[in-house]
Amino acid sequence: MSKREYIPESAERPRAKLSCLGLVVHPTRSIDGVLRELRHWAGLNQARLVQVRATYDQQHVAEEGDAAECDVIVAIGGDGTTLAAIRAGIVARRPVLPVACGSLGILTSLAVPGLLEAVERFARGDWVPRPLPALDITREPEPPLVAFNDVAIVRAGVGQARVTAEVDGQLFARIAGDGCIVSTPLGSSAYALAAGGPLLDPEMEALLITPLAPHGGSSPPFVVRAGSVVRLDPVMTYGGARLEVDGQVADKVRGPVTISFRAGVATLVGFRDQEPFLAVLRQLQIIIDGPRVLAEEARR
């Protein structure tokens, strides 16, 4: 990610000995090489390596530890693993170092070959915080939820989902289709983009509402200011609707869902020389040039 997006020059941290590294790992991907490197580094630096408890199916790779014991949580996998690590770290207020391991993702900022260099740079204070906003989700009488990418109401069976979307008490649209997504700016590059929504600059403080495959009418994606409150009110239909939070099924929808923006909920470890956001999207081929442009370039 770009230093223009997240990184104040004053954010460098003083060197501090790392006594404990926490791990959240992908459930199936091969990470043996990464673990060997981390164990070697931990042994040389007299640091513990523990596996942090998370609501996520992980491979068992180390003794279990609590996030509060750790100096940093290392997420090894893809964006899903990073989101699980973020959730494990927010209560203990621990930063998360995301490491791409055979996966493509927006949140995963490092390739595996740079892992030990990243850990060493963190240890000597040569890192900068990337604060992540979240969506606060309330639904009565269920407990509140938090999303870092998006929250969606989607149809759970046959037939259409019908959702009334309001912004600050004003009607935006009554949607009949597959449902509706509300995203953070960073989350605009995930489910919402796949559904035809726009990309938002991750530095923005805003929410994005993206209707899902609406059947008729006109309800384009809508960017609203961060201080707004979005309310999604589903109509109970034969097939029903479900709530998805950061791509995971949370529950059946039983009533209105209220969504608001909250800044600075979690912290990712960043570095000043990381690739800018748009460069990452192009590397991942989420943004691809037009065929005519590419064909002309190939002929040169």
pLDDT digits (tens, 9 = 90+) for 270-299: 998 888 889 889 988 889 999 999 999 999
What's the average model confidence in pLDDT over 209-238?
93
Q: How high is the pLDDT of residue 14?
A: 41
Per the listing, tokens 């269920």 go with 142
How far, rounded to the nearest angstrom, does the alpha carbon of residue 128 sit from its chain's CA centroid? 18
Give the mean pLDDT of the chain: 89
Phi/psi for 254 (5° steps) reads: -120, -5
Cβ 85 vs Cβ 73: under 8 Å: yes
- pLDDT tens digit sequence for 72-114: 999 999 899 999 999 999 989 999 999 888 666 788 777 667 8
pLDDT band at 15 (very low <50, low <70, confident <90, very high): very low
Pairwise CA distance, residues 80 & 83, whole Å: 5
Which residue from 85, 110, 89 is spatially nearest to 99, judged by alpha carbons? 110
pTM: 0.88
Instruction: Given the residues 66, 79, 233, 246, select the one marked as catalytic.
Output: 79
Closest C-alpha to 119, from 54, 60, 62, 75: 75
pLDDT tier at 8 (50, 70, 90 boundaries)? very low
79 is a catalytic site residue: yes
Distance CA 275, CA 154 (A): 34
Tokens representing 44 are: 């040389």
Q: Determine the pLDDT at residue 129.
A: 94
Structure tokens at 114: 């740079």
CA distance 216 to 221: 14
Tokens 């199916």 found at:
57
Q: Which domains does the chain have, with CATH numbers?
A: 3-132+265-299 (3.40.50.10330), 134-263 (2.60.200.30)
